[in-house]
Structure 1
Amino acid sequence: MAYAEQREVRLWHDKREREMYDNFADLFAIIKTTEKLEKAYVRDVVSAKEYEPACSKLIAQFRTLKTALKDIVPDVEQFAETYKMDCPAALNRLLVSGVPATVEHKSTSSDAGTASAVAECVQYFITSMDALKLNMLAVDQVHPMMNDLILALSKVPQLSPDFVGKVKVKEWIARLNRMSASEELTQEQARQLSFDLEMSYNGFIQSLPKSS
């Protein structure tokens, strides 16, 4: 009995195409993994201590890959729809929030480390405002500063989740997440961000307890 010869079916024709499909697979895996991690955290299957570093790593990997694929995959939501991924929690975490849920909703009644956290916030506010004055407007320059700032704000126990500074910074992170790393803020966007940061900084200072 003769057997038909089995031939390998290739999706690519050259090295460049193979790399593209490998990147597609990586993007698919990151989105799926993030969705599973989000559900596991909500269901208390993984602890906050395990969740936060894992989620931060996935967000960082996603941003790196998103930049590399910006010309091929300009719309990640469309990519997810094309491959029928059904991962709303992951897309929200990766494209909108940009930070782990533990950071986004962090609250604590402990005063330990408050002074250090306040000092961090002041440092990141001033650094960000100064950077904009120096026309550091590229997304890969602005995004890390906004991320550092929201992480610092989350450590200050007296700030509520709806504190205007947190809300504004999260809005900017979400906007930056939809841009590629090489893009730059327009002068109008930079002016608005400067205004939002100054307003948030003033609100932050006013929220601090007054010394007697």
Structure 2
Amino acid sequence: MYSQSQLAYAPTPYSYTPSSHLTATINLDQEVKLADNAAERDLHESLAEIYSIIITLDALERAYLRDSIKESEYTETCDRLLRQYKSNLADETVQSAFGDLESFKYEWDVCACGTTVGPEGRKLIEYKLEVPKATERLRIGLPATVQTQPAHTNHRPLSTASFSNHNPNTSHAGPTANATHIVSASENFITLFDAIKMNMLSKDTLHPILVEIIQAVNKVTDRDFENKGKIVQWLITLNQMRAAEELTPEMAREVQFDLNAAYDGFKSVLE
């Protein structure tokens, strides 16, 4: 009555036929080693840590934009993630394997969370990370609240006369405390200019000074004074350099010119 033979597998709408080419070629009961030695294992763990930091940072940025997290909590968490990211990449082996953020996001030859197979013991892995918010934050290297942090409303900018008569070693509450931030910002500008004159042009020298400058001026005023954006632009430029890299003489002259203009703009808001 039934002329057709019974199929050996359940039919599918697409008439899929199992292929022997998809059969595993390794013993599934055998443990697969993710690393052949301690150094390789540490490298994989560092890359996995960087991967998780990027994912977490993107979620944090989205939470901040939705106002789902307090600014203080965002600032603390974002700053910690950025420091952890930089700390992992401080290792030359990790930095060499990492390459750059874009190549790590889309295509990498080390799997941080899976098996390693293939002709050379590795497998081409495509992460295809869609993390635009984290990418932008890593590019800038500062939490959004530090990048554009407003001053407290009860701390109005002081006049230059108040600044010149202020003793920075004296601690007072109220508007006088703002003079301390003015002194700090001015000192950091001068420190940067001195570093450039002394030909100290490496990223690990100039970047921390620029961070202190932007933090100090943001504590003084929330006004977007003339050439303030130059500070952030150079922060981004330095943030994309390696720690030991140095500015060229031409770039050093541009930094000094731009930051002099920013310093003049900053002083103008105090008048």
Any residues of structure 2 matched to 1:80-159 within 5 Å, and which? 80-82=105-107, 83-95=127-139, 97-108=140-151, 109-111=153-155, 112=175, 113-159=177-223
SS in structure 1 of the partner of residue 187 of structure 2: helix
Any residues of structure 2 matched to 1:1-212 within 5 Å, and which? 6-68=29-91, 69-82=94-107, 83-95=127-139, 97-108=140-151, 109-111=153-155, 112=175, 113-160=177-224, 163-209=225-271
Distance 1:164 1:19, change over 3 A: farther
User: What is the alpha-carbon distance in structure 2 between the residues aligned to residue 5 and residue 104 of structure 1?
Assistant: 51
Aligned length: 203
Instruction: Give the AA of the match of 1:72.
Output: A
Structure 2 segments unaligned to the other structure (5+ residues): 1-26, 108-126, 156-174
Q: Percent identity?
A: 36
Shift of 1:67: 3.0
Superposed CA RMSD:
1.7
Instruction: Please say if residues 82 and 138 of structure 2, whose CA atoms lie closer than 8 Å, have aligned partners that are also in contact.
Output: yes
Instruction: Give the AA of the match of 1:86.
Output: E
Distance 1:5 1:42, change over 3 A: closer
Instruction: Please say if residues 128 and 145 of structure 1, whose CA atoms lie closer than 8 Å, have aligned partners that are also in contact.
Output: yes
Instruction: Please say if residues 118 and 156 of structure 1, whose CA atoms lie closer than 8 Å, have aligned partners that are also in contact.
Output: yes
Higher relative contact order (CA 8 A, sep 6+): 1
Structure 1 segments unaligned to the other structure (5+ residues): none
Structure 1 segments of 4+ aligned residues over 3 angstroms from their partners: none
Instruction: Please say if residues 66 and 180 of structure 1, whose CA atoms lie closer than 8 Å, have aligned partners that are also in contact.
Output: no
SS in structure 1 of the partner of residue 29 of structure 2: coil
User: What is the alpha-carbon distance in structure 2 between the residues aligned to residue 132 and residue 8 of structure 1?
Assistant: 56
Shift of 1:5: 7.3
